[in-house]
A = this chain, B = another copy of it.
């Protein structure tokens, strides 16, 4: 028997001398109002067994309208925060009885739409969107038109589907107040403004600098282009080569903070004595940098558990997806060794 050409209901119907409808009713255990004799049932079951019939998962999905599989689309697999989040979502999905498969937008609107179309095509019980995706508005419209249950995680405040997100303002304030209490009065900001949450972190930074009357130079605020690490490196070089460089850099991601460390070492700064660097996210590499990175942790496991729970409720119909449904989680300051006192 070629596994790629499985036994069909028609094969069984022919062998058992009954209709395809009867085979279907017997094998799917859904007789409905139609009477089927025990003799017929036995004949169908025997034929199915003799021919080596195996229920096809597509047929099962067709019947139950459920696959037990969730799909998650990432903006960028190379982003260490998003890959950490995807790993946590996979674990949370498994704990809650789902399997998870990943789609990848690869920073490209067309790719994102192709992957989403595939996932919306009833292959998946529900979808997770990770990070902000290229041309979000079109994707969110596609999701809503399909009425497929969907939850976004760390996708920015403008998302129109149920969302799990960080309290961004609180996260930024935790870091800025820590640097302030260490005695820093010349703070710089470095961030990729296109990434979800970063504009809120920048707004909080600007407000903090003004509110505390800190020393300010225009070059202290550096917004780096996404997907061009060379741009970030060049901006960090310019920032640190200023006549009056900052004494601390608030980086809107750990990835940028690690890059800032490299550039600072190369320019001869001793870390953290001559320059404090603060990250955001708490990616796996943060604890292993030189020096270990002090950062704002996004509680990724909790975010993943919440997102899968919300999605499960939407799939089960116990939550209404049209209602405003946002879960805001709290950040945490993780003190390691990349920031030092100026006092």
Number of A residues with CB within 8 Å of any CB on chain B: 62
State whether B233 touches A262 (Cβ < 8 A).
no
Shortest Cβ-Cβ A-B pairs, 3 listed = A20-B21, A102-B102, A262-B290
A86 is an interface residue with CB less than 8 A from chain B: yes
Given contacts A10-B32, A13-B21, A83-B83, 15 further A-B contacts (CB under 8 A): A57-B123, A58-B62, A62-B62, A77-B102, A78-B84, A100-B104, A101-B102, A101-B115, A102-B104, A230-B287, A233-B288, A233-B290, A262-B289, A262-B290, A266-B290
State whether B87 touches A83 (Cβ < 8 A).
no
- 6 sampled A-B residue pairs with Cβ under 8 A: A10-B32, A71-B101, A77-B87, A90-B106, A99-B114, A100-B104
A194 is an interface residue with CB less than 8 A from chain B: no
| Chain B residues whose CB sits within 8 angstroms of the CB of A57 once the complex forms | 121-123
| Chain B residues whose CB sits within 8 angstroms of the CB of A80 once the complex forms | 78
A209 is an interface residue with CB less than 8 A from chain B: no
Q: How far is the CB of A19 from chain B (nearest CB, A)?
A: 5
State whether B83 touches A230 (Cβ < 8 A).
no
A212 is an interface residue with CB less than 8 A from chain B: no
| Chain B residues whose CB sits within 8 angstroms of the CB of A104 once the complex forms | 86-87, 90, 100, 102
Residue in B65, B99, B284 whose beta carbon sits within 8 Å of that of A78 in the complex: B284
The residue of chain B having its C-beta at the shortest distance from the C-beta of A291 within the complex is B266
A96 is an interface residue with CB less than 8 A from chain B: no
